[in-house]
Amino acid sequence: MEKLMGSWEKLSLSESEGSKFATRDDQEAEGQSEGSKFAIRDDQEAEEHLLAAKFLTRRVLNMEAIAKTFTLLWKTRKGFEIRDMGDHRVMFVFPEALDIDRVLMGEPWTFDRHLVLLERMKRSMPLKS
């Protein structure tokens, strides 16, 4: 167990890896609430394209595994950001609408053998369960 804890202590994300993920804790630290609406950070570009996902599983979601898996599957032109919205919900943020169109055309998607529901979102839309 000590060896595992020692390895865990040494683990860190590089600056480029860390900037791709925004967890619910990050959002709460920045004053964003966890309510029925999601808040987009002020430092993000105005032209963001949002795709909400609901993972139909009872398992805990591993955000890093989700990011790696869908990066390989979707092959977007300019990448995407992933945000944990809690309750098995994830927000994917794309810099180009074309990438969302391509992702939605490839439906249905699964993750770890469980269905993933996707819906295009706008900034002011409530994020429903």
- The domain ranges of the chain are 47-123
Cβ neighbours, 10 Å, residue 124: 6
CATH code of the domain made up of 47-123: 3.30.70.330
Tell me if 86 sits within 8 A of 77, measured CB to CB: no
> How far apart, in Å, are the Cα atoms of 8 and each of 11, 13, 54, 60, 118?
5, 12, 29, 19, 33
Show pLDDT as tens, one digit a residue, over the chain (129 residues): 677 777 767 776 655 455 445 545 555 555 544 443 444 444 444 578 999 999 999 999 999 999 999 999 999 998 999 999 999 999 999 998 999 999 999 989 999 999 999 999 887 666 665
Closest CA to 129 of 29, 55, 28: 55
Assign 126 to helix, strand or coil: strand
pTM of the model as a whole: 0.61
